[in-house]
Structure 1
């Protein structure tokens, strides 16, 4: 008896064996009734049997093993997709499904071997090979679908976080500004200033989260370019940084033509993130130097700080999300997204972001063409 026929004729026996093995896999994360287990298992085994009974040449079999993970639109439902959708809806995780696949594989093959109504010939070996391929494909398809669901949930959470926190944050900022204007004493004014600074830090983090979420969804970071003076924007941002961190030293040097067509608020974010990164990673007491230069091709913004060196071979990893590179002196100042947002804003302007070691200094640079249209970072790599 071929394996496909055995699965169909011995369905109830297989289900009893599998139910005994699989029932312990779902507590406490995902509870499924005995009827639910059997219904889902029956559909999966029927799909497996149908796949095994499909005629396939050696060439097509080899192509299947090397082919795309998912079938083309309109193709028959595979065991993997049936299994994946059913299990994902039941709240299973990858570990539980892998254990279930193992129990299914062991149950079917052991019972088929014990049945004895087949010869251990080449046909039986090919059946076992195809059966294992079907089970492996089922597991791979579930992992892809599970990852997609996790990504979708993460994007939804980040979107809700970025949206819902803005209202209470605005209330905190307005209250802090009101307290600062009361002139109710030095202690109240200092507390209000601390609230304002902390609120600004939280807003910057939320902005980074929103942009990261947009980029992950393929929407890109949109820009609204307009004529502007980059020198004036940098001078304003450096001034705010000095006021917020009076104990730090920030130097600014402007040179050349800094007029261009860019998104001012976005470039202010670029400098703010670079300054935060320099303050977190730089040596305490050493100045952070900001240099902005312009020539006939465009402009280049550089932020330099003295601090621990990094491995040049992994320099570009510093711009990847959630990768911190060398240990930060003040990890609370680094969220793992700031440099990523810097790179994506630069790309959206048609420019580039880079980092290099220059003696004892680390230099982050953003170079932009003088004119930039309204593009999305999602359209660039």
Structure 2
């Protein structure tokens, strides 16, 4: 009997063995019903059987072996993906879930071989086709499981970032009230200044974290454009970045009309991250310069600093999330999550703009942002 026929005729027996194995490795068997343990096993097996009876050329077989073949069994992929999602939901870990497929493969081959009377070349081809189908199902299940893990992590980070804003606001307001209502000596003023600065850094990090999570849970950052002056926002961002830093050397150059319609909160994030990045990586006692040139339809914003240039190999990943420079990695504790430039890029994209970076030892590092003066709003998440 060909393997595809064997699977169809004995599918219930095979699924019974799947259930017993799943029961043995389940994280909390008391909460697992029989339906949960059996899950999509029957659908996966029947879809695999149908795939095995589909004609396949030698070139298609070679491509499929490398994961490059065309999708021939959408029902197999759908069942496998659903299985991966549900196994994550009921508490299986990735090793437990993938071991189910290993057991399924061994079970089917063992039961089938034990019933064979004589070997045949076609039977070996059947085993190859069955292994391909199981590998495809395993790949889909693993991808779906990993996606659920990522989404759960992102939701947790979103909740964490949201809930951190309230205590941070309480710290900031309390220090402000101390300064207003209490006469403090020099030492106390220093401590309050440190608390204020630390709270400000933490607020920026929380904002970056929330923006990062939003970008992963949706297609782009939500924006609500409104009339504003970019030059005014830039000066406020410089003032905030330099607060408490007597050696701050950030300057602003403005030319042309800098009025437009942008999301003020998002532009503040962009400016704070660009300025903070320039101050952090700029050479000591060398000025960092923010220049804004307004045109009829767009504004060009450049952030320039001197200092150690960005390695050419790192340029392509400079805007990726959770990427930190080598100097940050070696420099001990940092207020950076490695999200700043990623957030800058996401804000630019949300405003239908562009961003580029150039860096060399002679000319320094320059980030160039081009923003249209009118941006379409995006739906909030």
TM-score range, shorter chain: 0.7 to 0.9
- Are 2:202 and 2:335, in contact at CA under 8 Å, matched by a contact in 1? no
Q: How does 1:9-48 map to 2 (within 5 A)?
A: 9=10, 30-32=27-29, 40=37, 44=41, 47-48=44-45
The match for 1:143 is 142
Unaligned runs of 5+ in 1: none
Query: Secondary structure at the residue paired with 1:300?
Result: strand
Q: Secondary structure of the equivalent of 2:352?
A: coil
TM-score (structure 1 length as normaliser): 0.81
Which residue of the partner structure matches residue 288 of structure 1? 288
| Residues 108 and 212 of structure 1: CA distance in aligned 2, closer, same or farther (over 3 Å) | same
Give the distance between the partners of 2:78 and 2:157, measured in 1 at CA. 33
Instruction: Give the equivalent residue in structure 1 for 2:337.
Output: 335
Q: Counterparts of 1:2 and 1:240 in 2: how far apart (Å)?
A: 74
TM-score by length of 2: 0.81
2:360 matches 1:361: no
1:372 offset after TM fit, Å? Answer: 1.6
Give runs of aligned pairs for residues 120-199 of structure 1, distance below 5 A: 120-122=120-122, 124-181=123-180, 182-199=182-199
Measured in 2, the distance between the counterparts of 1:299 and 1:171 equals: 37
- Kindly tell me the number of residue pairs found equivalent between the two proteins: 368
The answer for the alignment partner of 1:58 in structure 2 is 55
Partner residue, 1:101? 101
8 Å Cα contact 2:290-2:303 kept in structure 1:
yes
RMSD: 3.6
CA contact (8 A) 1:205 1:335 kept: yes
- Residue 81 of structure 1 deviates from its aligned partner by 4.5
Please state how far the C-alpha of 1:269 moved relative to its aligned partner: 1.9
In the aligned structure 2, how far is the partner of 1:146 from the partner of 1:233?
Answer: 43
Q: Structure 2 unaligned segments of length 5 or more: list them.
A: none
Q: Report the secondary structure of 1:253's partner residue.
A: strand
Q: SS at 2:53's partner residue?
A: coil
Moved more, 224-233 or 185-194: 224-233
Counterpart position of 2:304: 304
Residue 297 to residue 326, structure 1, CA distance change in 2 (3 Å): farther
**Structure 1: how far apart are the matches of 2:84 and 2:2?**
26
Alpha-carbon distance, 1:339 to partner: 0.7
Structure 2 CA distance, aligned partners of 1:347 and 1:211? 13
Check whether the contact 1:219–1:376 (CA below 8 A) recurs between aligned residues: no
Kindly state the Cα deviation for residue 142 of structure 1 after the two structures are TM-superposed: 0.9
Check conservation: 2:320, 2:342, Cα contact below 8 A. yes
